[in-house]
Amino acid sequence: MTIKKLSIIIPAYNEGNTIHLILDKIKYVNLTNDIQKEIIIVNDCSKDNTEFAITAYQHANPELNIQYFKHEVNKGKGAALHTGISKATGEYLIIQDADLEYDPAEYNDLLKPVITGFADVVYGSRFMGSNPHRILFFWHTIGNRWLTFASNMFSNLNLTDMETCYKLFNTKIIQGIKLTERRFGFEPEVTIKISRIPRIRIYEVGISYYGRTYEEGKKIGWKDGVRAIFCILKYGLFKAR
Ligand code: UDP
Ligand code: MG
As a whole number, mean pLDDT of residues 15-30 equals 96
Q: Which ligand is nearest to the CA of 45?
A: 1
Write down the pLDDT at residue 134: 86
User: What percent of the chain lies above the pLDDT cut of 70?
Assistant: 99
Quick check: 238 pLDDT over 80? no
Strands, E assignment, the chain:
5-12, 36-43, 66-70, 92-95, 121-125, 167-170, 202-206
pTM: 0.95
Pocket mutation for ligand 1, best pick of 219, 222, 223, 227 (most atoms within 8 Å of C-beta)? 219
Q: Which of 195, 201, 179, 216 is nearest to 99 (CA)?
A: 216
3-state secondary structure of 89: coil
Out of 122-126, 141-145, 188-192, pick the least confident: 141-145
Binding site membership of 77 for ligand 1 (Cβ less than 6 Å): yes
Binding site membership of 162 for ligand 1 (Cβ less than 6 Å): no
Quick check: 1 pLDDT over 80? no
CB 69 within 8 A of CB 82: no
12-22: pLDDT as tens digits: 999 999 999 99
Question: Hey, what's the torsion of the CAs at 36, 126, 118, 28, to 10 degrees?
Answer: 20
Q: Rounded to an integer, what distance in angstroms lies between the CA atom of residue 108 and that of residue 19?
A: 21
Write down the pLDDT at residue 136: 80
What are the percentages of helix, strand and coil residues in the chain, rounded to 5?
Answer: 40, 15, 45
Quick check: 239 pLDDT over 70? no
Binding site membership of 224 for ligand 1 (Cβ less than 6 Å): no
Residue closest via CA to ligand 1's atom 22 equals 220
Question: Hey, what's the torsion of the CAs at 66, 97, 37, 173, to 10 degrees?
Answer: -110
Binding site membership of 211 for ligand 1 (Cβ less than 6 Å): no
Binding site membership of 76 for ligand 1 (Cβ less than 6 Å): yes
CA 43 and chain centroid, separation: 15
Quick check: 8 pLDDT over 70? yes
85 phi-psi bin (left φ>0, alpha ψ -120 to 50, beta other)? alpha
Q: Determine the atom of ligand 1 nearest the C-alpha atom of 44.
A: 7
Q: Which residue has the higher pLDDT, 184 or 186?
A: 186
Centre of ligand 2 to C-alpha 125, Å, is 14
User: What percent of the chain lies above the pLDDT cut of 90?
Assistant: 81
Cα(first)–Cα(last) distance of the chain, in Å? Answer: 26
Quick check: 171 pLDDT over 60? yes
Among the four given CATH numbers 3.90.550.10, 2.40.30.10, 2.160.10.10, 3.90.1640.30, the one describing domain 5-136+161-182+200-217: 3.90.550.10
94-137: pLDDT as tens digits: 999 999 999 999 999 999 999 999 999 999 999 998 888 888 88
Write down the pLDDT at residue 60: 97
Strand 167-170 vs strand 36-43: parallel, antiparallel, or unpaired? unpaired
* Band of residue 196 on the pLDDT scale cut at 50, 70, 90: very high
What average pLDDT does the chain have? 94
Binding site membership of 12 for ligand 1 (Cβ less than 6 Å): yes
Q: Determine the atom of ligand 1 nearest the C-alpha atom of 101.
A: 23
Query: Taking the CA of residue 101 as centre, how many other CA atoms within 13 Å lie in the half-sphere pointing to its CB?
Result: 23
Out of 99-103, 206-210, 224-228, pick the least confident: 224-228
